[in-house]
């Protein structure tokens, strides 16, 4: 398992990014066509991928018990295993819908899982990467909920519920109640009101990054932050089927 934040892109290779598949929403069956499309995309990109970044909310709800994980998503997990086993590094950033990961991706798939944003260097380009939830100003209700969701005691309590009940509650909170989602499916608020733009601009005052790449907004966005820094939002695999590609020089947002 590669856990270096320094990735070399060989000639002709690329780094791919995708986020917000929300597999399982509204049901496993209903999201199956989206899952198949995603697996076909993985199959296409594996030929020239130097690395793959999956940036959260792959699952609409995911919770790992000590010996149990939720049913479903077999095609995705199988494809990720195949690609990872072939030696292509995959990096996973948890989203607000699947932050309850606890070793399964590492052990089963050889995929490192990050719970916080990280800066990576691709050749000479610095890229700040994260799911994007709970960053910047606003979304106070979600930030309050996130404290509960990430609290070890509440996680421990939840774990003791029978998984058939626990996962049902999780799915309910995710699909119907929107308690887990927060503001993540809002419309474009304008550059001055996009809280991830505000977050990036604040970060830039401390340290330069060439690119900031996030998911979570479900909106494909490319916003120039200053002359040398750009914020990219990856969109989603529900409405847009967008993904990011970095070839060592240029970052492009494409549609599958």
CB of 225 to Mn ion, least distance (A): 21
**CA of residue 22 relative to chain centroid, distance:** 10
CA–CA separation, 87 vs 167, rounded Å?
33
CB of 9 or CB of 232, closer to Mn ion: 232
Selected from 70, 72, 95, 244, the binder of Mn ion by CB under 5 A is 95
- Kindly tell me which of 95 and 166 has the beta carbon lying closer to Mn ion: 95
57 lies in the site for Mn ion, by CB under 5 A = yes
Quick check: 96 binds Mn ion (CB under 5 A)?
yes
Residue least distant from Mn ion (Cβ)? 216
Can residue 216 be called a binding residue for Mn ion (CB under 5 A)? yes
Min CB(55)–Mn ion separation in Å: 9
| 212 DSSP β-pair partners | 128, 231
Angstrom distance (rounded) from CA 214 to CA 228: 18
Q: Which of 35, 139, 184, 194 binds Mn ion (CB under 5 A)?
A: 184
What CA–CA distance (Å, rounded) separates 72 from 106? 18
Least separation, in Å, of the C-beta of 96 and Mn ion? 5
Interaction between residue 60 and Mn ion (CB under 5 A):
no
Among the residue ranges 23-31, 87-95, 116-124, 233-241, the one whose residues contact Mn ion (CB under 5 A): 87-95
The answer to whether 215 touches 57, Cβ cutoff 8 Å, is yes
In whole angstroms, how far apart are CA 20 and each of 102, 114, 162, 249? 19, 15, 27, 25
Q: Is 98 in the site for Mn ion (CB under 5 A)?
A: no
Paired strand residues for 7: 122
How near is the Cβ of 186 to Mn ion at its closest, in Å?
A: 12
In the complex, minimum distance from the CB of residue 227 to Mn ion, in angstroms, rounded to a whole number: 30
Q: Could you tell me which stretch among 75-83, 96-104, 168-176, 233-241 binds Mn ion (CB under 5 A)?
A: 96-104
Q: How far is CA 200 from CA 5, 127, 163, 205, in A?
A: 19, 12, 38, 9
Is 236 a binding residue for Mn ion by CB under 5 A? The answer is no
Q: How far apart are CA 133 and CA 144, in angstroms?
A: 12
CB of 10 to Mn ion, least distance (A): 32
Asked if residue 174 binds Mn ion (CB under 5 A), the reply is: no
Cα 1 to Cα 33, 71, 84: the distances in Å are 30, 25, 9
3-state secondary structure of 205: helix
Number of residues that bind Mn ion (CB under 5 A): 5
What residue ranges bind Mn ion (CB under 5 A)? 57, 95-96, 184, 216
């Amino acid at each position: 398992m590669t856990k270096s934040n320094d990735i070399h892109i060989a000639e002709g290779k690329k780094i791919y990014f995708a986020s917000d598949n929300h597999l399982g929403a509204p049901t496993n069956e209903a999201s199956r066509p989206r899952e198949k499309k995603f697996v076909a995309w993985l199959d296409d990109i594996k030929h020239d991928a130097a690395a793959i970044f999956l940036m959260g909310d792959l699952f609409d709800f995911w919770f790992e018990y000590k010996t149990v994980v939720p049913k479903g998503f077999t095609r995705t997990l199988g494809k990720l295993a195949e690609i990872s086993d072939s030696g292509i590094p995959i990096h996973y950033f948890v989203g607000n819908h699947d932050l309850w990961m606890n070793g399964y991706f590492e052990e089963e798939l050889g995929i490192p899982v990050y719970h916080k944003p990280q800066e990576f260097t691709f050749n000479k380009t610095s890229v700040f990467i994260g799911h994007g939830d709970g960053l910047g100003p606003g979304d106070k209700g979600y930030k309050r909920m996130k404290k509960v969701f990430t609290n070890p005691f509440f996680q421990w309590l939840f774990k003791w519920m029978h998984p058939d009940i626990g996962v049902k509650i999780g799915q309910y909170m995710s699909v119907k109640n929107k308690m887990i989602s927060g503001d993540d499916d809002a419309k474009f608020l304008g550059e001055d009101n996009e809280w991830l733009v505000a977050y990036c601009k604040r970060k830039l005052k401390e340290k330069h990054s060439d690119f900031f790449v996030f998911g979570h907004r479900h909106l494909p966005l490319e916003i120039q932050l200053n002359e040398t820094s750009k914020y990219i939002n990856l969109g989603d695999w529900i409405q847009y089927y967008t993904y990011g590609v970095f070839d060592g020089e240029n970052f492009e947002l494409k549609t599958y």
